[in-house]
Chain A
């Protein structure tokens, strides 16, 4: 993978200059991925209408905060911005993505908005768009969001050279609904040990679904379900509900399991919250189906129910109870305002409902998770 950022240090101006030179090299195909056919459209947020990207004939590719690229994004944005965003930008600077026909960003939070700004500067060679995402989910906001999605469909059609029709959107919604259903089924079967999948294995499937064609992910899930496997459900695992924003690295989930946790629900934006079924019963308006479905999906902390402030905390407590969890591990990104400013409420409501909760802050690296091992072990001992 790309490692073409040599040594980013010096004065602020020097650092910026070198970052931009590196990004230019990446744009010229020196990032290690070559200049193969641009079949992917990149995205970074679970609110992205991936169905539209699929309908336009592209493969949606979630730019996960992977890789050990040099830390350069802090120089362009700020060191105190969400590590998820910084790692994605570091990938852009180092050219560590497949060739992209475009990128779709969501105006979901301050950090995502800033990522879009920086991306435009770093990778002007890749056409990009920002879709505005309302903070609330009422009828007017759904209608506004529909308009945003319609504009995005036009842009995607321009990128691909193929019209994005109602039929193609319908088909894409159907495909992603099938994927969402299969993921739910696989998770449910795994919990029963038929077959048991370690949380890391499950996450690898989520990652495949986020970065490749949905049909391939569906095929893999079907094969996994059919494949005869010995039930290797480890005994004595304590059922835990995992909640938060980004935890994409299978190794992180494996580490939590190695502390004695049985993750019964992965309620994160790189896990169970990424793919949810979109209802299609609202007549012949697939764009409205998509807008409503995305806004109604299980919420990220950035989306607000004004009639039920802190509803996200109530939902967490209810869901943890519903799944029979003995405790909640809540893992959020450092510097993530939407979550960080709601953590006290989440803690308060979990305590009120007598649900033990462990709150962890991370930066998308195993290094930060590794430092939390002792706390996770102590939490599991307490639950056990």
Chain B
């Protein structure tokens, strides 16, 4: 696997040489993700497999190469090789009704391509499935794991409970890896994370503009994957690359989607394997995905002198935690801020926490005049993907949404 990442990295780096138009932020981002993949396999540093809501600033400050497990499923899908791993998981008894991000991890584990972790850090948000996967990894690699229970709301009591757990997590990592957390390094990490947060805020503010400088692919998986780099200079550089690119596009009067006609909110995660959705949206309808659900700053800057409280508050604040009422209010806010015409919910097959309230989300957005298209696709497993069916549904939705927009104009 390391060789695979080496080859990919070298290919992208070569493409950067002599590129007069500059390197797109998306490519820079992809390169850093590949480098993270290489680090996971390099054996240079201890490795942590985590849940999505883990405080990556701490892990990065401790020199632990860390990643959430769903990354494996997404990477295998985006490279078009996930089928074999899903089949492996099915052979091992994991039913096809489960989340395919997680089933892909189980298949990869049984095929021996998941890098052995030194520590495992589970988080109860966003889902029960992620914890079950970490428990399976824990047993497979005979490594004990630590679970951060993310409370449902940010009452003082809950924040303190989670902050104390984060301290417990550090003790656990120190014991398991022999690496001590240097509090000065953590302070630097938090400062850099706050800087990244501020730049991300600028990026999102620019994406809100009409027309938006964001193209459909630009910010896909951005808000969910960038936290892996929180606290590092890489994270800050990626955010800055996006900010500079969007600023330049706005100055040149260039929108992400030429002749933007329809503005779309994408709910939850993108479809990870190669698919025609963006092409249909942009080429056939001038529709731009201007915002993804997780592309938002839901937390305050973290006090570097009291990092655990701020980190706890941030983990509690992620839109997938807490009640659907909170999540719908957040989606409604995004709809208003970005002036969207419609929303697309992929309703990832097997996802209980995200797709499990499809009807309530639908109702919540319709109540503010935003129609929702529920696709009911599997975002990782490409084996049952039906392009024709998807195209028909998207076309019908966009014709209706576009018609409404024209009537309003």
> Which residues from chain A sit less than 8 Å from chain B, CB to CB?
12-13, 16, 75-78, 80-82, 107, 109-111, 113-114, 116-118, 120-121, 130, 132, 134-136, 140-141, 144, 147, 301-302, 304, 306-307, 309-310, 334-335, 337-338, 340-345, 347, 361
Q: Beyond the given A76-B359, A77-B357, please list 9 additional residue pairs across the A-B interface where CB-CB is below 8 A.
A: A78-B358, A81-B356, A118-B324, A120-B323, A140-B165, A309-B138, A310-B139, A337-B129, A338-B132
In the complex, A109→B131 CA distance in Å? 11
The smallest beta-carbon distance between B128 and chain A, in angstroms, is 5
Decide if B362 is an interface residue (CB 8 Å cutoff).
yes
User: Of all chain B residues, which has the CB nearest A337?
Assistant: B129
Residues of B contacting A81 with CB < 8 Å?
Answer: 352, 356
User: Of all chain B residues, which has the CB nearest A138?
Assistant: B168
Q: Which residue of A77, A109, A116, A340 is within 8 Å of B95 (Cβ)?
A: A340
In the complex, A110→B356 CA distance in Å? 8
Decide if B24 is an interface residue (CB 8 Å cutoff).
no
Q: Which residue of A117, A136, A310, A344 is within 8 Å of B93 (Cβ)?
A: A344
In the complex, A184→B170 CA distance in Å? 43
In the complex, A52→B362 CA distance in Å? 36
Decide if B325 is an interface residue (CB 8 Å cutoff).
yes
B94 x A344 contact (CB < 8 A) = yes
User: Of all chain A residues, which has the CB nearest B97?
Assistant: A335
In the complex, A132→B153 CA distance in Å? 10
Contacting A at CB under 8 A, from B367-405, are 374
Q: Which residue of A80, A121, A144 is within 8 Å of B350 (Cβ)?
A: A80
> Which residues from chain B sit less than 8 Å from chain A, CB to CB?
92-95, 97-99, 102, 106, 122, 124, 127-129, 131-133, 135-136, 138-139, 144-147, 149, 151-152, 157, 161, 164-165, 168, 323-325, 347, 349-350, 352-353, 355-360, 362-363, 366, 374
Residues of B contacting A144 with CB < 8 Å?
Answer: 149, 151, 161
B323 x A116 contact (CB < 8 A) = yes
Residues of B contacting A120 with CB < 8 Å?
Answer: 323, 325
A304-B131 contact given A117-B325, A341-B136, A345-B136, CB 8 Å threshold: yes
A135 x B149 contact (CB < 8 A) = yes
In the complex, A310→B357 CA distance in Å? 29
User: Of all chain B residues, which has the CB nearest A339?
Assistant: B132
In the complex, A337→B131 CA distance in Å? 10
In the complex, A76→B131 CA distance in Å? 26
A132-B152 contact given A78-B355, A117-B360, A337-B132, CB 8 Å threshold: yes
Q: Which of B92, B324, B325, B359 has the most CB of A within 10 A?
A: B359
User: Of all chain A residues, which has the CB nearest B164?
Assistant: A140
In the complex, A275→B200 CA distance in Å? 51
Residues of A contacting B138 with CB < 8 Å?
Answer: 306, 309
A340 x B357 contact (CB < 8 A) = no
User: Of all chain A residues, which has the CB nearest B132?
Assistant: A341
A342 x B132 contact (CB < 8 A) = yes
Q: Which residue of B157, B324, B352 is within 8 Å of A82 (Cβ)?
A: B352
Residues of A contacting B99 with CB < 8 Å?
Answer: 337
Residues of A contacting B124 with CB < 8 Å?
Answer: 134-135
A347 x B93 contact (CB < 8 A) = yes
The smallest beta-carbon distance between B341 and chain A, in angstroms, is 17
Residues of A contacting B102 with CB < 8 Å?
Answer: 341
In the complex, A141→B146 CA distance in Å? 13
In the complex, A130→B95 CA distance in Å? 30
The smallest beta-carbon distance between B76 and chain A, in angstroms, is 18
Q: Which of A16, A113, A147, A343 has the most CB of B within 10 A?
A: A113
A-B contact pairs, 25 of them (CB 8 A): A16-B359, A16-B362, A16-B363, A77-B357, A78-B359, A81-B352, A109-B352, A114-B356, A114-B357, A117-B324, A117-B357, A118-B324, A134-B124, A135-B131, A306-B147, A310-B135, A340-B94, A340-B95, A341-B98, A341-B106, A341-B132, A342-B135, A344-B93, A344-B94, A344-B106
Residues of B contacting A77 with CB < 8 Å?
Answer: 356-360
The smallest beta-carbon distance between A10 and chain B, in angstroms, is 13
Q: Which residue of B168, B347, B374 is within 8 Å of A140 (Cβ)?
A: B168
The smallest beta-carbon distance between B111 and chain A, in angstroms, is 14
In the complex, A347→B136 CA distance in Å? 13
Residues of A contacting B356 with CB < 8 Å?
Answer: 77-78, 81, 110-111, 114
The smallest beta-carbon distance between A7 and chain B, in angstroms, is 18
A12 x B362 contact (CB < 8 A) = yes
A304 x B360 contact (CB < 8 A) = no
User: Of all chain A residues, which has the CB nearest B160?
Assistant: A144
A114-B95 contact given A342-B132, A342-B135, CB 8 Å threshold: no
B145 x A306 contact (CB < 8 A) = yes
User: Of all chain B residues, which has the CB nearest A335?
Assistant: B97
Residues of A contacting B359 with CB < 8 Å?
Answer: 12, 16, 75-78, 118
Residues of A contacting B94 with CB < 8 Å?
Answer: 340-341, 343-344
The 9 closest A-B CB pairs, nearest first, are A341-B132, A344-B93, A117-B324, A76-B359, A110-B352, A309-B138, A110-B353, A309-B139, A114-B356
In the complex, A340→B94 CA distance in Å? 7
B97 x A334 contact (CB < 8 A) = yes
A78 x B161 contact (CB < 8 A) = no
In the complex, A118→B358 CA distance in Å? 11
Residues of B contacting A80 with CB < 8 Å?
Answer: 97, 349-350, 352, 355
Q: Which of A16, A111, A130, A340 has the most CB of B within 10 A?
A: A340
A109-B128 contact given A141-B149, A337-B352, CB 8 Å threshold: yes
In the complex, A147→B157 CA distance in Å? 9
Residues of B contacting A132 with CB < 8 Å?
Answer: 149, 151-152
A304-B135 contact given A337-B352, A343-B93, A344-B94, CB 8 Å threshold: yes
Residues of A contacting B152 with CB < 8 Å?
Answer: 107, 130, 132
Residues of A contacting B355 with CB < 8 Å?
Answer: 78, 80
B360 x A118 contact (CB < 8 A) = yes
B144 x A114 contact (CB < 8 A) = no
In the complex, A141→B127 CA distance in Å? 18
Residues of B contacting A140 with CB < 8 Å?
Answer: 161, 164-165, 168
In the complex, A148→B130 CA distance in Å? 24
B128 x A340 contact (CB < 8 A) = no
The smallest beta-carbon distance between B115 and chain A, in angstroms, is 18
In the complex, A200→B351 CA distance in Å? 34
The smallest beta-carbon distance between A110 and chain B, in angstroms, is 4
Residues of B contacting A117 with CB < 8 Å?
Answer: 323-325, 357, 360
In the complex, A111→B127 CA distance in Å? 10
Q: Which residue of A16, A118, A136, A338 is within 8 Å of B128 (Cβ)?
A: A338
B135 x A309 contact (CB < 8 A) = yes
User: Of all chain B residues, which has the CB nearest A109?
Assistant: B128
User: Of all chain A residues, which has the CB nearest B133?
Assistant: A341
The smallest beta-carbon distance between A17 and chain B, in angstroms, is 9
